[in-house]
Chain A
Amino acid sequence: AQSVSQHNHHVILSEAASLELGCNYSYGGTVNLFWYVQYPGQHLQLLLKYFSGDPLVKGIKGFEAEFIKSKFSFNLRKPSVQWSDTAEYFCAVMGDTDKLIFGTGTRLQVFP
């Protein structure tokens, strides 16, 4: 069965700080990987996704993620966060079905 672990439950940063959110998955086959963002009071929106090819994926709003197969990881990064990045971030994995399995989420707070 597929599973996803997000070890950072709550991250607090100042504006302009760099961000890295961890995501590890468990699945033996080919996976598709996703990062979603949920701004306060809103629904989930897709930040970026990985299917195949270049393991460094660039998404919207300056976010990127790197797929490291040997580490079963898909960490999310941003060089310089803004107050508007305050949100909850979810990593998700899809294996051989079209069901997304989500991690428990990381709450990011950015202070001016």
Chain B
Amino acid sequence: NAGVTQTPKFQVLKTGQSMTLQCAQDMNHNSMYWYRQDPGMGLRLIYYSASEGTTDKGEVPNGYNVSRLNKREFSLRLESAAPSQTSVYFCASSDWTEANYGYTFGSGTRLTVV
């Protein structure tokens, strides 16, 4: 099915470990995003990519890096995980044609840092 695919779905890391969250979309969308969701704080934008080859910081970029590998894929890397990065991470892509104006979200990655 067309959509946004995130891997892994669950992950437990020890403080200081690194990992990469993968995201791929097959809808030919130009823009892609990484959000984190924490209780009582809604979704906060970490990084976004308006097009292949470009990335920009969002509200909470510290401790993260991203790569827009190609039009389909947008990965999020934690170089040295901290307990404060325990969260649910959502990738999204967007299409700005009138009929499909909006975001499509992936199913999320639940990350726990111990």
Contacts and interface: CB of A to CB of B under 8 A. Distances in A.
Interface of A: 6, 9, 32, 34, 42-46, 49, 51, 90, 98-105
Contacts of A99: 33, 45, 48, 58
A105 B102 contact: no
Interface string B74-105: 00000000000000001000101000011101
Determine chain B's interface SS by DSSP, over half rule: strand
Contact of A103 (B42, B94, B106): B42
Nearest to B50: A98
Contacts of A101: 45
Given A43-B105, A49-B102, A51-B101, A98 B42 contact: no
Contacts of A43: 90, 105-108
Interface residues of B, number: 22
A99 B43 CA distance: 12
B107 A105 contact: no
A44 B105 contact: yes
A46 B106 CA distance: 13
B25 interface: no
Contacts of A9: 40
Interface of B: 31, 33, 35, 40-45, 48, 50, 58, 90, 94, 96, 101-103, 105-108
Contacts of B102: 34, 46, 49
Contacts of B31: 98
14 contacts: A34-B102, A43-B90, A43-B107, A44-B90, A46-B102, A49-B101, A90-B42, A99-B33, A99-B48, A100-B103, A102-B35, A102-B43, A103-B42, A105-B42
